[in-house]
Copies of this chain bind each other. A is one copy, B any other.
Amino acid sequence: MSKSTFDSVEMSLEANIPATELKEVKRILYGKELRKLVLPQSALVAALERDFDLHGYVFEAEPEQIRAARTVRVGLIQNKIVLPTDAPVLEQITALHKRVGEMVDVAAACGVNIVCFQEAWTMPFAFCTRERAPWTEFAESAEGGFTTRFCKELAKKYNMVVVSPILERDELHGGTLWNTAVVVSNTGNVLGKSRKNHIPRVGDFNESSYYMEGNTRHRVFNTQYGKIGVNICYGRHHPLNWLMYSMNGAEIIFNPSATVGELSEPMWPIEARNAAIANHCFTCAINRVGTEYFKNEFTSGDGKKAHHEFGHFYGSSYVAAPDGTRSPGLSRIRDGLLVAELDLNLNRQVADKWNFKMTGRYDMYADEITKAIQHDFKPNIVKE
């Protein structure tokens, strides 16, 4: 059972644990049992024909007296690249538009209101190569590039908010590159963009070869379907990053990512889920799938031989709720669309139960962090 053929923990549990114990195992590992979302037969057939997995779950809240239920359907799309990494750039982009477009068609059939794609979805995740050409040619204007135009069409066609994480070329500011999520409103307008706040320098990835820490801070987008934030990839390791999206009012925080098994897989189920719990909000963690091959070999600063691949992107996209419940993950090996119906009333219900914001003592932390960043910081250490 190799790391790139094992489908998912969830499937292994279902197949092997006796029913008497399975209920307890799943409760402890995943929280409340989620109702499956009934999806249209046409969507299921289309997913089968287009060779991707399709699963749907419902996160329910209690009925309230004053507020009606606030249900929204989110769609998480994970996919392999389509063409080899040395195909012409524009062909690679176009092939990905086509592939993801046909998955969005199915999302629309499933009633999805907000769809989010994986990090840098229009390209192979080539940052491990440290090469400039041809990878920087994948960068586009957030406001008017091919990909944003493509997303605007989808948004209008399906009355859907589209979160599109791309490599951005910012011509207005010296032509700099950024790792950016473009948020397209369901009206087809660009609502704005959110840049990756924390940039990894880890193993294969020193992404600061390509772009620096984002300067859009923690803006939240007030869409027709709810207030959303986008915490890109490595930002999920930073609890303060999640916190500030939440402080600004985010009800759903998307985490479009690209990460490989050897590096991060045991951390993947923990971090976005912890953020949902700690911040009384929903989080949606999305990771690409497959292994990408690069023509020129590269090294990883780990003493190993130069290589052409840097690991298996393990998919496993999932949704986590403020009560600690999470959906099963999508497959580790196949393209997939995860549809989740969220009742956003759950956020306040859980907040009113657990009170993490009310008991947060943020004045104390503002003071302590302000002191901790000073050059003459004296740690609070008790010695004998």
Which positions in A face B, CB cutoff 8 Å?
1, 3, 6, 9, 12-13, 16-18, 20-21, 23-25, 27-32, 183, 185, 187, 189, 191-192, 197-203, 213, 217-223, 227, 234, 237-240, 242-244, 247-249, 264-267, 269-271, 273-274, 277-278, 324-325, 353-356, 358-366, 368-370, 372-373, 379-384
**A238 partner residues in chain B, CB cutoff 8 A:** 278, 356, 359-361
Q: Are B366 and A362 in contact (CB under 8 A)?
A: no
B372 touches A201 (CB 8 A): no
Report which residue of A18, A24, A373 has the largest number of chain B beta carbons within 10 angstroms of its beta carbon.
Answer: A24
Cβ–Cβ contact A266 & B220, under 8 A: no
Interchain CA distance A14-B205 in the complex, whole Å: 35
Q: Are B28 and A240 in contact (CB under 8 A)?
A: no
A368 to chain B, nearest CB (A): 5
Of the residues B1, B201, B239, B354, contact of A278 by C-beta under 8 Å: B239
- Interface pair A380/B266, CB less than 8 Å apart: no
Q: Which residues of B contact A25 (CB under 8 A)?
A: 9, 12-13
For residue A240, which residues in chain B have a CB less than 8 angstroms away from its CB? 239-240, 243, 360-362, 365
When chains A and B are docked, how far (Å) is the Cα of A274 from the Cα of B383? 28
- Measured in the bound complex, the distance between the Cα atoms of B7 and A64 in whole Å is 37
* A364 CB contacts on chain B under 8 angstroms: 197, 217
Residue ID in chain B nearest A247 by CB atoms? B372
Residue contact B16 to A17, C-beta cutoff 8 Å: yes
**Known contacts A9-B29, A197-B361, A221-B382, then 17 further A-B pairs from the complex at CB < 8 Å, ordered by chain A residue:** A12-B21, A31-B266, A183-B382, A191-B382, A200-B359, A201-B355, A217-B368, A218-B380, A219-B381, A220-B381, A237-B354, A240-B360, A266-B324, A270-B277, A362-B372, A366-B369, A366-B373
The complex is assembled from copies of this chain, and their number is 2
Q: Chain B residues with Cβ under 8 A from A355's Cβ?
A: 200-202
Report the 4 A-B pairs with minimum CB-CB distance, sorted nearest first.
Answer: A239-B239, A274-B274, A31-B266, A267-B324
In the bound complex, residues from chain B placing their C-beta under 8 Å from that of A18 are: 16
| Contact yes or no, A267 B271, CB < 8 A | no
- For A271, the chain B residues whose CB sits under 8 A away are 274, 277-278
What residues on B are CB-neighbors of A278 within 8 Å? 237-239, 271
Task: Specify which chain B residues have a CB less than 8 angstroms from the CB of A362 in the assembled complex.
Answer: 240, 369, 372-373
Q: Is the CB of B27 within 8 A of A21?
A: no
Q: Is there an interface contact between B213 and A361, defined as CB atoms closer than 8 Å? A: yes
Contact of A270 among B218, B244, B274 (CB under 8 A): B274
A366 CB contacts on chain B under 8 angstroms: 366, 369-370, 372-373
Residues of B within 8 A of A217 (CB): 364, 368, 380
Output the least CB separation between A269 and chain B (Å): 7
Tell me whether A1 and B21 are in contact (CB under 8 A). yes
Contacts A325-B266, A384-B185 given; indicate if A359 touches B247 (C-beta within 8 A): no
Chain B contacts for A277, CB-based, 8 A: 237, 267, 270-271
The chain B residue sitting closest to A20, CB to CB, is B1
Minimal beta-carbon separation of A327 from chain B (angstroms): 13
Pairs A–B under 8 Å by Cβ, sample size 20:
A1-B23, A12-B21, A16-B17, A29-B266, A30-B266, A31-B266, A191-B382, A198-B360, A199-B359, A201-B358, A202-B355, A217-B368, A219-B382, A222-B384, A238-B278, A244-B372, A248-B380, A266-B324, A366-B366, A366-B370
